[in-house]
Amino acid sequence: MRGAILIAGTHSDAGKSVVTTGICRWLARQGVKVAPFKAQNMALNSVVAQDGSEIGRAQAAQAAACGIETEAAMNPVLIKPSGHRHSQIVVMGKPYADADARSYQQLKHELKPIVGAALADLRERFDVVVCEGAGSPAEINLREGDLTNMGLATAANLPVLVVGDIDRGGVMASLFGTLALLDERDQSHIAGFLINKFRGDASILQPGLDQLQRQTGRATLGVLPHVEDLWMDVEDSLALESPRPELPALGETLDVAVLRLRWMSNFTDVDALASEPGVRVRFTRSAVDLERADLVVIPGTKATVEDLQRIRDDGLDRVLAARAAAGLPILGVCGGYQLLGERIEDRVESRLGVVDGLGLLPVMTAFHPDKLLRRRSGSCAWLMSPVAGYEIRHGRVTRHGGEPLLRDAGDQEPDGCRSGAVIGTSWHGALEHDAFRRALLLHVARVRERDFRPGDVNFAAARESRLDVLGDLIERHVDTDRLTDLISGGVPAGLPTVHTEVRTCSVS
């Protein structure tokens, strides 16, 4: 099998990532050499690939589903919002420009050949490339210069499947309307539909699917059932509304409150905590939640100074200070670590110069124009455990008190700081390492006098298991013969164009 396909959606969070990841897993299990691709991704959750590039975390999960290492070509353009109407543009894994929405539109002509070359490179090295769109292909105000939906499909001659989320209602209208809004050329690439998150007997849908096919000339290749607790590495905060699964406790429970920042990034760092039996993880801005929690986690942020000011505006700085004074555990990761310090010098993101931090850790941060992107590994002497992670940051942190938290296995400088009950680290992904995560939770339990007992969940194995669930969804609920034909055969010939009558309304 050789070819490529684009998975689009009727809207953001319709299930594009789930379907793309599931197809990648299903193909990999068939022995197909497959790779993911997302031309343009807007996300604050990212990872450092083996080649030292930064790409969206969803594409890293998709690469894992394929059984391959991540690389820059899988996500050539990554947009990272860093404040109101302002974003950092990462191209082929490295910072490329800062732009607002209008100036980014002007950048697209520069980025189009880069996107095309990245996809062509993957298609040359892999049998199949499964591409994921962004938002909706029917965002006709953005069609000119589009890099990731129908612009990509027409440039690379890709067949397109459109995914609709029936759980939100109106899925038939959404699928039909998405197709109908496109011009004739774009419509010719829409080869079929998929329906996501259906509850109940799928046969009830059949009359509607039959009518949709009669009106559009396109079949629905599958109806994916709603699966409880189906969570995976995600792109943005839309997924925060979906609760993390809670495993039954082996002893007493631990309550983890994650401070919900406006511009938080890599909040998937805390997913591993939710994999432990008896650990409840929730995102919150409630002062009461932060006061009562056994552990407060302040995640990364792409706008450290702006989020710091909002913490102060909401009075949460006083809550955190009271926790620290009472010896109650606080963990800051990357941007969360930086704002826990005494001072931040930022002439890169906010450009506000020197501002005071929360003063809960004896560290100072200076932002540099160049971004530090690297993988790290080492140990935590305090918790007597190995640990590893990766860094994505402009901030350079200097510690002048407390104790270093993590030691690098090589010759690189130690990371992080521990002072009283407050700890901070620049390493994303550290909590995914089972020994470190459990040792930290046991420390929290001792401080809080809880009879908490960690489980034996291997987080890497749990993540693999979730990827297999997605592969199973495709294998069991999608017409894989027709999917294979689309991938291998390309855009079907003779697909009809849906014409909508436009009437001019007058108001008297």
Instruction: Give the active site residues.
Output: 334, 428
Q: How far apart are CA 335 and CA 339, in angstroms?
A: 6
**3-state DSSP assignment of residue 434:** helix
Q: Please identify which residue in the block is written with the tokens 């809004």.
A: 181
Nearest Cα to Cα of residue 252 among 40, 1, 445, 14: 445
The residues, any chain, with a CB within 8 Å of residue 370's CB and separated by 6 or more, are 95, 394
Q: How many helices (H) and strands (E) does the chain have?
A: 15, 25
Return the sign of the alpha-carbon dihedral for residues 181, 183, 186, 189. Answer: positive
Q: How far apart are CA 166 and CA 174, in angstroms?
A: 9
**3-state DSSP assignment of residue 258:** strand
Is there a contact between 155 and 117 (Cβ–Cβ < 8 Å)?
A: no
The single-letter DSSP state of residue 93 is T
Identity of the amino acid at 353: G
Calculate the alpha carbon distances from 152 to 74, 118, 131 in Å. Answer: 14, 12, 9
Calculate the alpha carbon distances from 214 to 107, 211, 221, 276, 458 in Å. Answer: 41, 5, 14, 49, 48
Q: Please identify which residue in the block is written with the tokens 């109806």.
A: 223
Burial class (CB in 10 A: 0-12, 13-18, 19+), 124: exposed
Output the DSSP codes for 436-454. HHHHHHHHHHHHHT-----
Phi, psi for 78 (deg, rounded to 5): -120, 120
Phi, psi for 66 (deg, rounded to 5): -80, -15
3 state SS for 382-412:
CCCEEEEEEEEEEEEEEECCCECCEEECCCC
Q: How far apart are CA 110 and CA 104, in angstroms?
A: 10
Calculate the alpha carbon distances from 239 to 278, 282, 360 in Å. Answer: 22, 12, 30
Q: How far apart are CA 22 and CA 383, in angstroms?
A: 37
Identity of the amino acid at 4: A
Residues in the chain, overall count: 508
